[in-house]
Structure 1
Amino acid sequence: MKTEKRLTMALSVLVALMMLAVPLASSSNLFVDGGQTNSNGDAPLIGADADISSTGDNTNSPTTTEGWSVDDVWLIYDQATLNKIGTYVDFAKWCEAVNCSETWQAGMTPWIAIAFTTDEQGDISIQIGDTNTISFNGMKKGNHLATGYLGTALVNNSEDAFGFEITKQISDAVVSLKLGDDVKDNSKTFSYNPVSVNVDFVLNEMNGATILNKTDVTLPINDAKRGINWYKTDYGVRASVLSGFTSVEYLISCLAKTNVITNDGYQIDTWKDASGIVYQNSELPDKDSNVASNRILDDMTITANWSLKTGYAQLDVNVAGDITTDKKFVQAFVLNDDNKIAFSDASKTKTNALITSLPGISQMGYNVVSGSNEQIYTMKVTSSNGNEVKNGTVLSTDDSLTVTYTMNTTLYQKITVSSEMFDSDVVLFAPATDDFTYSQVFNALQKYNGTKSELFGITTSSTYATDKSYVTSDNYYRITGFDGVKGNLESNKNASNAVTLDVSLNEYKVMFMVNGKFEVVSVAYGENPLDKCTLISGMTVDHWVTYESANNKYTFTPVIFTQGYIAQLENQSKADKDKITQTFIACFYPASQTGYAVFNAKGVSDSDNSNAYFGSKDVTEIIVTGKVGDSISKADAPSSSKDHWLFFGWNTTENWGSDDAKKDTFVAYADNKVVTYNAVWDDYKYAVTFYNGSNVAGVFYCNEKTGILKIADLNGAIVGIEYDGTLYSASALKAENAADDTIVYADPNAAKAYLDAYNKIIFSDKDGYALKQWNDADGKAMITVKETTTSPYYEVSKVNIKEIKSDISLYGQFNPKDYTIIYSGNTATMTNEMKQIVKVDESVNLFSDSAFSNDGFKLKEWNTRPDGKGTTYALGASFSLNGEQYEDLKNGEFSLYAIWEKSNGNATPGDNTDGDNDNSNTDTYLLAGILVVIIILIIVVAVVLRKKN
């Protein structure tokens, strides 16, 4: 029994030893490196901190207006703006109550709608501006309203009218909602900016040919309610209308009335615009709904399509001889009883008068020598068989006519003047045998009225007096000379029969503002300024506005780049071509949804910094547009043409530094309100620049100051500081003492930002070094600092600057920090360490082979890892760490591990006494020990069994 127990105990010991073998072997490296490596054997990261960031989304809750309020004010002029009524009321019931059609009609004129909310009924009135008022007794028009009430009135000429004239601009007229004399709400304003465009009706063309028959026009009556005015032109009729309020059909209806347009041979069937849309020549009924799609928004040209009247025939009229033209002519001739075309004097019926001239072609010419108009050509009219057409001539309806012009070359010679300013060459004349000079030709160009030349009205210009050049009266062209020679316009040298008048286009300047950017472009006369704008590439602009400002109040006016408006710009530019004629601001949303933000570079007033500008000295304010309710983005920083001015940001109040100031606070675009931001400037006298090596650590911008004995004196001279490219105003430190004597800053965030930047400058850091002091250029200490145990871990101990009367440069003096090289014997039995204290950037020799001893082994080298897989350093090698490497150390320590080899010199990875390379040796020793125990147990069992037997 005892034997069996002994055997059982021995086997139990055996099993336990076998179970210990595996974990002992696998954990053998923990013995070796003493916890200096992580689980994968790599050295731990030094000074690694997690980067934790978070984001937040703030949503503004909409506010709800209750009680008395004016909710909206808008102009109704088409179906879309009429339908807007349904946003506030039951549209159908409201229209029924006020006897208004639900469809926009041709007979309607624009009118104003005001949606409003009240708490009670009574004698309600609404006033727009100073004197214009409409009343709503007992809310008689509010019986069918869903959420409030709606008042309406025609723009002019109505019993409820506000009295505004449709052609006049309304700027920010205050809308007041009253109960009796009590003003309940006046928070809304109403603006109206009429834009005039031209519609030209061409009456003298037939399929590209000029009609020779006379067309008589009796102009329609001007319509003040719709802003329509009528004019006669050389080619027909022009209607000047307000953009968006009138339809093409309505204008044609005015012209289609009886006896407005009459022609003895033709009648108008239809009209066609430049895009090919055809309109019927008919009167519209007073109420016609099919007008909204053809509202006139821009300049238009509409040509009449004529047809022959019964009893007339049309013949082509050609031009031949010494005068050539690209024009084609046609004429309708009355037929006689034989269905023929007969010519005679006007006293006979059903006969036609002879053609005596053609429009735009003259038999007269200007003699440059005599300075007078004289007959140069004779003309003759022939039929298709070449016979002259005279009184008594009778032609068939399929015949044609030719007008032949013959020049009198016996008496005259032709002078042809070419120029970029002429649509076609100008033809002048001189006696056939006489010479003529450049001066005579130039004088003739100023007087001749036979061709296009008369339109240019060439006049002298004092602007170009120095080079003897001229400018046209409309300022389109600058005239420099003849035939490539400058200044010979008045030369008495003989000219040839073909001369060239040298000109260049005159230009004016306009500015475009798009999304906070701007560009100033030069526009040649005759060009569309929009073609010059590069900022809108790839963008869709809803509309453009110009602006005017007075007493910090801004008025924005929509513009359309019609030919008429461009002509106004050109005329406006004549006053001073070196100045910007007009500024155009791009709007990307409809006018009712557009808000404006104004950034003023000069500050609250010109006295802040009158020398401030944006990129160009002509640009002192930037206007940015956006959608009402969207956040306003910050404009780029302005510049100053004078030194020693600091820009600290944008301020939404006029009292920068006051308790209610909101520096760099960017709110949303507002409805019916301009948000203004003023640049925050401050000037300084001198700069104190701090250098960390060759780099600028920061700048203190200061006023002149003497008696600087301590840091508080220096701080008192500071206007602002600059750190890492950002300016911080010293006014951010405005504070007051609370009841418990703690400092309470007016803007804690601004104060913290300032102090953080201040500390980073005056307590600048340098990798591996500690700041000692700031020296002047001579190496004298001006500011001395000492280390502390609390942030920012430095404080100023002494100031020797004394005074600031000029710019000062200070240079940081830094002392190198100490670090420790720790040498480890790196064996299971050798746990002692040796240390070596070294300064950053100091060169030292590493310990040699005498540092540690290990029986049977010799020290081979040093390594940054105990397993020898890190960086290897030779024994006694020169070593140093720079500042950047120092910052990577943990606790200012650098560890080196001894790497051993057998004394016989046969070094193998397994020869080391510990480390990862010796794991196999350790495992072997353990297993050998276990085998020895097993053998002993077998012997013991054998002995026991033998004794038993």
Structure 2
Amino acid sequence: MKTEKRLTMALSVLVALMMLAVPLASSSNLFVDGGQTNSNGDAPIVSDASNDDITIKDVYIIDNITDLNDLPIYDKLKSILGNKSDKDMNSYAPCLVTVYTVSDKVKSSNLATTGDLKVKFDVDYNNGTNDITKYGGYSGMNLYDSSKKEYYATFPLGTFNGDSDSLGISESKDYYNQVYTVSAQLYDSSSETVGSKVSMTSEVDNVTVDEVWMIDDQNSFEKIANYGKNLEDFIKGGKWTKINDATERDPWVAVAFTTTSPGTVTLNISAAHNLSSEKPFTMYWSKAGTYVFVATVSNQDGGTKDMLGMSNAAQWDNNIYNVEITAANGNKSVGSATYGSPSGTYNVIFKLNSDENSLDIPVVKIPTVSSSNTNVKSWEVNTDGDLVVSLTTEKNKVSIEYLITEIFDQITRNGYTLTEWASDDGNYTNMSYAGANNNKYTSSQYADGDKAVDKNMTFTATWELKEGFVEAPIHVYQDDVLVGDFIKAYEVRDKNTIFINPVGLAGDITKATGINTFGIIVNDATKPDVVNVKEVYSSKVTYGSSNDLPANGLIASNSEITVNYNLNDRLYSKVVVHSEAFKDGKDVTPFALKGADYKYSNVFAALQQKDDIHGIKAALALNDSGISEKDKNATTSDNYYLLTGWNNGAELLDSQRNAPAELTLDSELNGYYVIFMVNGQFEVVYVPYGELSADKCTIASNVKYWSYVTYDDNYAKDTLNNIQTFSFTKSQIKVIEGLTNDHKTPIAVFIGSEYSFNNTAYAVFDAGEGNFGNKYVDKMIVSGKASSGTTKTTISLPEVSPVYENTVVLVGYVGYKASGESASTFNGAGFVQTFYADVVPYKYTITFYNGSDVNGIFYYSGETTVDEKDITSNLVAFSYKGTAYDAADLKLNDSSLDITKAFNNVLYPAKDGYKVTQWKDTDGNVMLDKVKKETKVESDKNVTKITYEVKFKKISSDMSFYANFEAEKYAIIYSGNTATATNNMVQVGSVDEALTLFKDSTFSNDGYKLTGWNTRPDGDGTSYKLGDSFTLDGKQFKDLSDVSKVSNVPNDITKGFTLYAIWEKVGSSDNPSGNTDGNDSSDNTALYLIAGMLAVIAILAIVGIVLMRKKN
């Protein structure tokens, strides 16, 4: 028994020793987790890699059973809920759906099978006051769609089977007005986290207005269906019993818009006229898609007040409706639609002849405009032969039907009947009205059912050959060269003949082609200096195969006619003149008497032939100044061309030398200067006459809207309230080109805008005595969205700053605030507000340089004696990185102010890894010494100040100071990375200094050798060799950890990082790479375990032997 007791005691001791082996082994290394922070607060210099173990792909709301049915996991969801029927599932909607994926890396890991993984969801929503986590719980991963490899989590939002909804929102008006944020965290079967938490918010991140239109007839109503919507859904109750009834309640504003994800959008509708405030509508869309919203704008909606509060036709008629949709994240999209005829001036062009080969030119009797007609301003025929009416809709509407009725019997054309008008945009066809319809327009230019003119329009006439007429081919030659093939209508007479009048035919050819038998003679034997017009060509009309016309002029109706023009070359010769200044750049050919000289001045005078004799018009028209006495040049009357001489400068315009038979009139495009202003920038552009377009502006592209002011009469005289809309039409360009032009001063200023003219306001920044880098630009005009109701748009500063000849510095604009609650905002549409430059005079400056860059400038009013610790005496202004501040606003005791932060940044510029210690002058003399940035508590708040010692006496001239930087110091903490090496070793270095890392004598570890260093204790970080050269730059210094509380680190050093010793067992090949798992004593642990196990076996063997002997 004694023996057994002894053996039992021995066994107990050995077992106890074996059990102690494991904790001793595991305690030999504090970094069993590898990436975690150690007990000294050190952290690896390299950050951990992010986890992509779980990804949320979408968050949205399903609010109907149809969409719920479409979920790929619908059948599985019903099964989980107890095999609910489809009818029972109706109450499951609305529900919040989260679609997520789990990486293959996690699913194939040793955590567990897919079914052992769980996801914990947290759902935040905004209830109007703050964000509240309303749900947190686990979800299995069995709602899996194998086709897309996606998981689904669903949360009921209504009342499902009588239970409260998941998020505690019981009414649809609540859950529809929320923005949901779903967070997900992956867990394993032991409820341990896997990877990092991810989240997604259901708000709309993009919204786009597709179209805004007015519904006022059946066609415009049915446009709703173009966006995939059911028209029945847009029919109101009550009196409206069918679709057609809907349009009896017109007008409506219709908005089609697209969202890229579900969430809340706010739709604002405002009218440009007669409505003081906009009307907002806030809606929630359960998923991404295209939607249509309609709002009535009349008071006809079942007798109730309209949705915009416009109570009568005087308000909702003749208006522009502007729509702005804003997503929850602030993303905006805009659109607009016109109803009726908002105030405007328009030109309607009626193109009379659609066949350019016809010799039958329409004859127009221009309609008269009565004094009582306040809408139609004028009728005229333009240079192209088209009829143009200019009208205004300021007081009343004017219809297309009225205009066509007005000209019904005013246009005639030989052999043709005008059958209809069609608009060039294709919107109006078969527009034809009898003169009898004039009875409709005795007191108005608009009747019910008419189409109102609401923009510039163009119509083309359609002509039909009259019965009993034929179109005869006409071939025209001049000097045996084909001029063109034409047609002319002739009435068919007896025996199927047509009558040809050679004189009348010649006149028609002249009108259509400009060919004339008469010509300008540049010289005359009797009157050498007088321009004469004489007949120089003879014409002959033939038909068929060069048959002469019969005396009665009657030929077969199917005949082809030829007209030949031949020069009388016995008496006259051609003088051919080339020039780009002629119409279409075509040559002009005057004539000269043979045998008589002529001069350049004669030819120039012939080109200006003023009298319209025999249909001959002048090839050139000069402005009133004629040939300049100063430079001998001339300008055409339209200002398009500058005429400078003859034959590439060989002769002056009025040269008295004899001229050759072929010569070139030197010309160059004449032009003018304009100023474009867009987005706070400007450019002065030279524009040749005839080439003005928005494309001339190069500082911005695709500017949608433009307005302008004249330079001399408005911009230069500060009368900027006369800003007018501009669309670069021919008529508007003509107005610009008619402005006074001295070829130096700009004639107009064009302002670009994102918004239509009726939605744009303006801010003017006036430089006062300075300019913005060009002597003609002393004011910058900035456009922006006009204020409407509570919607305000902040005014941005111009991108360019003014410059001054005097020693002044711009410190802002009077009355302008860039940000904050009192930020300056645009006024209502069309309003112009002006901010005048606030400048401060100065005499001397100190310029602070950070390397070669100007960091800031101090401005002083005059000679200044400085204090030994302060250089702000007589400081009137300062600038930091280009922004100037008024020193009168400087409060050094409040470092939370932007102006104070800027001041401190001038004296203490930031440079990663360095600190400013001194400021030196150009010669290297210390001007400011012991510069420090200190934060102290003053009046219960932290105040940051820059302190320094002044090493100069006074400021009496401009000075330049250069920052002297000192490298920051840091500590490298060497850890032995074993249980026995508890004391750290510290090496101190400076930024950009080359250090030699510690070598193998730093630490000792019996049975192991030191092989290197690593930024992680498990060896998975960045590795360094023993004795490596190491340099830390400023950016790396910025990312260092705080080591101020680590033992052995000097008190004046706050930043550093740790290097961990990596060991390799001496003589072992089991782990040649060292302790890459971070556990130095893994081998010792194994030895302890083996020894314990052997001891147990030995004891058990001894006990067995004793028992066997005892039995024996």
Q: TM-score, normalised by structure 1?
A: 0.67
Partner deviation per Cα, 1:523-560 (whole Å, 9 max, x = no partner): 33233524544567556x36656575676762432234
- Percent identical among aligned pairs is 30
Once residues 493 and 365 of structure 2 are traced to their aligned partners in structure 1, the CA distance between those partners, rounded to angstroms, is 21
Amino acid at match of 2:866: I
**Partner-residue secondary structure (3-state), 1:640:** coil
Cα pair distance change 1:144/1:16, threshold 3 Å:
same
* Aligned pairs (5 A) from 1:620-769: 620-626=779-785, 629=791, 631-632=793-794, 634-642=796-804, 646-647=809-810, 654-655=814-815, 665=823, 667=825, 670-671=828-829, 673-674=831-832, 681-691=839-849, 698-712=856-870, 714=872, 716-723=874-881, 727-733=884-890, 752-763=897-908
Amino acid at match of 1:17: L
- Is 1:146 matched up with 2:305? yes
* Aligned pairs (5 A) from 1:360-439: 360=511, 361-370=515-524, 371-381=531-541, 394-395=554-555, 397-398=557-558, 403-423=563-583, 424-439=586-601
Cα pair distance change 1:339/1:554, threshold 3 Å:
same
- Is 1:583 matched up with 2:735? no
- Is 1:920 matched up with 2:1056? no
What does residue 689 of structure 2 align with? 525
- Is 1:501 matched up with 2:655? no
Larger radius of gyration: 1
Shift of 1:728: 4.7
What does residue 376 of structure 2 align with? 227
What does residue 613 of structure 1 align with? 772
Once residues 941 and 209 of structure 1 are traced to their aligned partners in structure 2, the CA distance between those partners, rounded to angstroms, is 131
1:826, 1:866 within 8 Å by CA — same for their partners in 2? no
Amino acid at match of 1:559: F
1:597 to 762, 767, 773: 762
Partner deviation per Cα, 1:728-748 (whole Å, 9 max, x = no partner): 54344369xxxxxxx7x7xx9
Shift of 1:431: 1.7
Shift of 1:719: 0.7
What does residue 65 of structure 1 align with? none
2:855, 2:880 within 8 Å by CA — same for their partners in 1? no
Once residues 48 and 263 of structure 1 are traced to their aligned partners in structure 2, the CA distance between those partners, rounded to angstroms, is 89
Shift of 1:720: 1.9
Once residues 425 and 787 of structure 1 are traced to their aligned partners in structure 2, the CA distance between those partners, rounded to angstroms, is 80
What does residue 253 of structure 1 align with? 405
2:43 to 38, 42, 45: 45
**Partner-residue secondary structure (3-state), 1:434:** coil
Compare 421-430 and 295-304 and name the one that shifted more: 295-304
Aligned residue-pair number: 807
What does residue 17 of structure 2 align with? 17
Amino acid at match of 1:730: A
2:786, 2:827 within 8 Å by CA — same for their partners in 1? yes
- Is 1:566 matched up with 2:733? yes
* Aligned pairs (5 A) from 1:255-294: 255-257=407-409, 260-261=410-411, 267-271=417-421, 277-280=429-432, 282-283=434-435, 284=437, 286=440
2:390 to 241, 264, 273: 241
Amino acid at match of 1:416: V
Amino acid at match of 1:620: K
Amino acid at match of 1:575: N
1:779 to 925, 931, 952: 925
Once residues 532 and 1029 of structure 2 are traced to their aligned partners in structure 1, the CA distance between those partners, rounded to angstroms, is 107
2:34, 2:1018 within 8 Å by CA — same for their partners in 1? no
Cα pair distance change 1:819/1:478, threshold 3 Å:
closer
**Partner-residue secondary structure (3-state), 1:447:** coil
2:913, 2:991 within 8 Å by CA — same for their partners in 1? yes
Amino acid at match of 1:703: S
1:802 to 953, 976, 989: 953
Partner deviation per Cα, 1:383-415 (whole Å, 9 max, x = no partner): 658676587555554456555444332222222
Amino acid at match of 2:952: I
Once residues 910 and 403 of structure 1 are traced to their aligned partners in structure 2, the CA distance between those partners, rounded to angstroms, is 105
Shift of 1:440: 2.2
Cα pair distance change 1:904/1:646, threshold 3 Å:
same
Q: CA-atom RMSD, angstroms?
A: 5.9
Query: What stretches of structure 2 of length at least 5 have no aligned partner?
Result: 50-123, 130-213, 222-236, 241-247, 252-271, 278-299, 319-340, 525-530, 937-941, 1045-1052
* Aligned pairs (5 A) from 1:290-369: 295=453, 297-298=455-456, 300=458, 302-303=460-461, 305=463, 307-308=465-466, 319-320=476-477, 322=479, 325-326=483-484, 328=486, 330=488, 332=490, 335=493, 357-358=507-508, 359-360=510-511, 361-369=515-523
Partner deviation per Cα, 1:51-71 (whole Å, 9 max, x = no partner): 9xxx999999xxxxxxxxxxx
What does residue 66 of structure 1 align with? none
Once residues 853 and 263 of structure 1 are traced to their aligned partners in structure 2, the CA distance between those partners, rounded to angstroms, is 115
Once residues 786 and 217 of structure 1 are traced to their aligned partners in structure 2, the CA distance between those partners, rounded to angstroms, is 86
**Partner-residue secondary structure (3-state), 1:374:** strand
Q: TM-score, normalised by structure 2?
A: 0.59
Shift of 1:585: 3.3
- Is 1:469 matched up with 2:633? yes
Once residues 622 and 806 of structure 1 are traced to their aligned partners in structure 2, the CA distance between those partners, rounded to angstroms, is 37
Cα pair distance change 1:945/1:922, threshold 3 Å:
same
Shift of 1:380: 4.8
Cα pair distance change 1:820/1:425, threshold 3 Å:
closer
Amino acid at match of 1:762: L
Once residues 50 and 902 of structure 1 are traced to their aligned partners in structure 2, the CA distance between those partners, rounded to angstroms, is 28
**Partner-residue secondary structure (3-state), 1:479:** strand
Cα pair distance change 1:806/1:235, threshold 3 Å:
closer
Compare 406-415 and 934-943 and name the one that shifted more: 934-943
Once residues 462 and 393 of structure 1 are traced to their aligned partners in structure 2, the CA distance between those partners, rounded to angstroms, is 49
What does residue 445 of structure 1 align with? 607
Amino acid at match of 1:557: Q
Shift of 1:454: 0.8
1:21, 1:927 within 8 Å by CA — same for their partners in 2? no
Once residues 499 and 995 of structure 2 are traced to their aligned partners in structure 1, the CA distance between those partners, rounded to angstroms, is 126
What does residue 63 of structure 1 align with? none
Cα pair distance change 1:57/1:37, threshold 3 Å:
closer
What does residue 129 of structure 1 align with? none
Amino acid at match of 2:577: V
Cα pair distance change 1:797/1:926, threshold 3 Å:
same
Compare 559-568 and 400-409 and name the one that shifted more: 400-409
Cα pair distance change 1:428/1:462, threshold 3 Å:
closer
Once residues 838 and 419 of structure 1 are traced to their aligned partners in structure 2, the CA distance between those partners, rounded to angstroms, is 80
Compare 493-502 and 392-401 and name the one that shifted more: 392-401
Shift of 1:712: 4.7
**Partner-residue secondary structure (3-state), 1:286:** helix
Shift of 1:943: 6.9
With a CA cutoff of 8 Å and minimum separation of 6, indicate the structure with the bigger relative contact order.
Answer: 2
Shift of 1:613: 1.5
Cα pair distance change 1:20/1:521, threshold 3 Å:
same
Cα pair distance change 1:393/1:446, threshold 3 Å:
closer
2:470, 2:492 within 8 Å by CA — same for their partners in 1? yes
